[in-house]
């Protein structure tokens, strides 16, 4: 990491950390969550390429922090849905905390990949994998060709496979 990058991150931290944490506290209404997101924001900047080129630090910090907050809300929603699913199926085998964490990480990663696919591909994937429709039924319902359904499913399944390989 170039010294100028590290020095720039340090400068931004010293001059804007308390502002960012206060701003986040106003958004999140929770000092601990605000501190976590502020920390993660600076970790993200530190892992970046050249903080010395940041011209508007507060705008830059706010943009990164907003993305992290959205990721945090998405993760909490997935965790709640997973917990609800477990509660709805009490006969399921007891799952260790480690396995729960792995499952939630996987669900978060799949959710992100599906969000990045685009509306049509995501809809096709959900109809196939969640609703259990055949490719032909999906094509008929969405009024697209069977080839289009297959193309989108290949893309979605490829993304999911890449996620599974990286975990």
Decide: helix, strand or coil at residue 33. helix
95-167: what fold? Answer: Arc Repressor Mutant, subunit A (1.10.10)
pLDDT digits (tens, 9 = 90+) for 72-90: 888 888 888 888 877 777 6
Output b/e per residue, 123-152; b: 16+ Cβ within 10 A.
bbbebbeeeebebeebbeebeeeeebbeeb
Q: Which value, to the nearest 10 degrees, does the dihedral of the CA atoms of residues 103, 108, 109, 111 take?
A: 120
pLDDT at residue 92, rounded to an integer: 61
pLDDT at residue 105, rounded to an integer: 86
User: Confidence band (pLDDT; 50, 70, 90) for 3?
Assistant: low
For the entire predicted model, the pTM comes to 0.64
């Amino acid at each position: 990491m170039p010294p100028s990058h590290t020095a720039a991150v340090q400068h931004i931290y010293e001059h804007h950390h308390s502002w960012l944490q206060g701003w986040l506290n106003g958004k999140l209404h929770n000092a601990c969550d605000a501190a976590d997101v502020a920390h993660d924001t600076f970790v993200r900047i530190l892992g970046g390429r050249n903080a010395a080129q940041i011209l508007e630090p507060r705008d830059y910090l706010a943009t990164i922090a907003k993305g992290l907050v959205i990721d945090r809300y998405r993760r909490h929603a997935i965790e709640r849905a997973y917990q609800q699913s477990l509660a709805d199926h009490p006969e399921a085998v007891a799952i260790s905390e480690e396995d729960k964490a792995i499952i939630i990480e996987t669900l978060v990663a799949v959710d992100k990949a599906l969000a990045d696919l685009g509306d049509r591909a995501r809809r096709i994937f959900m109809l196939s994998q969640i609703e259990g429709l055949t490719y032909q039924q999906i094509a008929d319902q969405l009024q697209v060709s069977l080839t289009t359904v297959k193309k989108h499913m290949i893309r979605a399944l490829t993304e999911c496979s890449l996620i599974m390989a990286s975990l």
